[in-house]
Structure formats: structure tokens, C-alpha cells
Amino acid sequence: HQHQVGKKMSIEVQRDGKNLGPMRIEHRFDFNHHSMEESAIPQLLPGDEFVVNCEYDTSSRTEDVEFGEGSQDEMCYSTIMYYPVQAERDIFAYFPASEEAKAAYEAACSNPGSGQFSEVSLCAQSFIEDVPTFLQLDTNMQSFGALDLCNSPMYETMLEPYFPGTCPPCSQNDNCTATDVLSWGQEVLCPRMCAEFGGLTLWPDTSVTEASASQGVWCGGDGITYFAPNIADAEECQAKGDLNVPSLEVQGPAENSAQTLSLGGAGVAVAAVIAFLM
């Protein structure tokens, strides 16, 4: 889906680092004519990735065009119907990894904590002291620590569905200790989050301190995953040979003489169209 200055759109599928080609290409997008077509790739497998490309022509505009819901704004999204149905999810988001988020992850993953947390990473300390900041939640939210969170019945109903695995298993009985939560943050949660954000290692391992992630995706119960897109080029069609097609006679209007077209290869389809139209 695009708006008034959208000109072309395609949806490609990648599998195991290989571009399988387009599910659909809209060579001439028309804002007044939307349609759904059967996919050229009939089956998707776990781990497949979508690459959505949108092209625009803003030469008719005198002001900048922004993304938004208005018809004068622009969009770039696709809708896909699939079978069989999967588990319902109520949150989907795709967004760039901000420089602020990148700097925060690099600092938290690559440095030790301070004071009584000097034996663990800054990431684990942040988890213990300030969960909203740790999970990049609303900055206006009141601060609370992981121990309070993991021993609260609200965790499983309000946070676990969107950030699974944030608390250790003891949270199921609301009997976590400070040691349980701190160990979980340092040994399980922070290594996972740092690795997901562009392959960062967790202090005291400082072998990777610069994140490669540039994009983020939030798929409901799977939480946020950051990654660096690796878009492969589609394979070019390779000629397998040539067809020996005999000359074809295409009869024109009565006042014209017969026209002989010598066609080979891809021209066969064209000849069929010409003969039909004539």
C-alpha cells in the first residue's frame, strides 16, 4: 500500500541468505486501484524474510512528503493473507535502531556496573535498578526494579506477553531473591539482549563492543529483536538455449498483404498476442 506519489512496489522473499524473487511486483502503482493477487511464491517457511521495496515520485510536490495516515502523506506496507492461521498477535512494529539506543546498548553491554554491582555488567545493574529504562519503556513511567517486578503478579499479565523471559522461573511463584534476579540478568537476560543487538558481547567479555544492528522489529510475544539487514540480490535469469521456431504468417487487414514474422525465443509469446489481436 502506498499513497499518491507511490509509483512502484515489490515484496521479495529471502531464505537462508538467498533471494527467492518477488511474491508480487506492482510496476505501476495506482492509488485509486488496489488489488490482491496470488503470490508467485506459494509457500513460506520458518525463518523466511520479507523485503518490501517502495519507489516514489515527488517531483509534483513543492513541500517535503512525510510518512503518515493522510492521503497527502505516504505509506509503504503490504498485507498478506496466509494459511494455516498462527497464534494471534496484537503488536507489530518495524523501526530503525536509533543512535541513542545503540549508544545505550554498547555502554550497558561493554562496561562493568558500579558500587555494589562492580562484579556484574552495567546491563545487569540497570535491570536490577530501573526496569522501564532497561526495557526502553515510557520515560514518564515510574521507576521500579527487577526484584519488585519479578515478585509481582502483574508481571505475567502485563509484561511477560510483550517481553518474554524478562524474569527468572521463580517469578511464577513470586518468590525470587535479589541473587536470583541479579544472576538471571547477568547470565541469561543480558547476554541474550546484547547478542540480539548487533552481536554485542557482555562484560567481562569485551570482544565485540560496537553494535551492527540498524533496524528493530517487535512482534508481540516475541519481544524486540534488533538486526542488521542483509539483503541479497535476486538471481538473474540465465538463458538455457534458443528455440528453433519456424516462420509464422500473421494475416493483417484485407487491404494489406500478409506479413511474415521470423520469431525466436521469447518472441513466441509476442507472436501469439499479435496473432490474437489481429
Q: For residues 246 and 169, what is the distance between their CA atoms, to the nearest angstrom?
A: 74
Exposure of 119 by Cβ count < 10 A (0-12 exposed, 13-18 middle, 19+ buried)? exposed
Q: For residues 27 and 8, what is the distance between their CA atoms, to the nearest angstrom?
A: 5
Average pLDDT over residues 21-43: 88
Q: For residues 166 and 169, what is the distance between their CA atoms, to the nearest angstrom?
A: 10
Q: For residues 234 and 229, what is the distance between their CA atoms, to the nearest angstrom?
A: 15
Amino acid at 4: Q
| Strands ordered across the beta sheet of 18-26 | 18-26, 6-15, 49-56
Question: Residue 5's pLDDT band (boundaries 50, 70, 90)?
Answer: very high
Phi, psi torsion values for 74, nearest 5 degrees: -130, 160
Q: Is the pLDDT of residue 93 over 80?
A: no
- Identify the pLDDT of residue 81: 86
Nearest to 191 by CA among 251, 260, 120: 120
The most confident of the ranges 91-100, 106-115, 189-198 is 106-115
Convert 54-81 to b/e letters by CB count within 10 Å (16 or more is b).
Answer: bebeeeeeeeeeeeeeeeeebeeeeeee
- Identify the pLDDT of residue 278: 35
**255 grid coordinates:** 487491404
The angle formed by the CA atoms of residues 92, 94 and 100, to the nearest 5 degrees, is 125
- Identify the pLDDT of residue 277: 35
Phi, psi torsion values for 112, nearest 5 degrees: -80, 160
- Identify the pLDDT of residue 221: 57
Question: Residue 167's pLDDT band (boundaries 50, 70, 90)?
Answer: very high
pLDDT per position as a tens digit, 7-23: 999 999 999 889 998 99
State the chain's mean pLDDT as an integer. 82
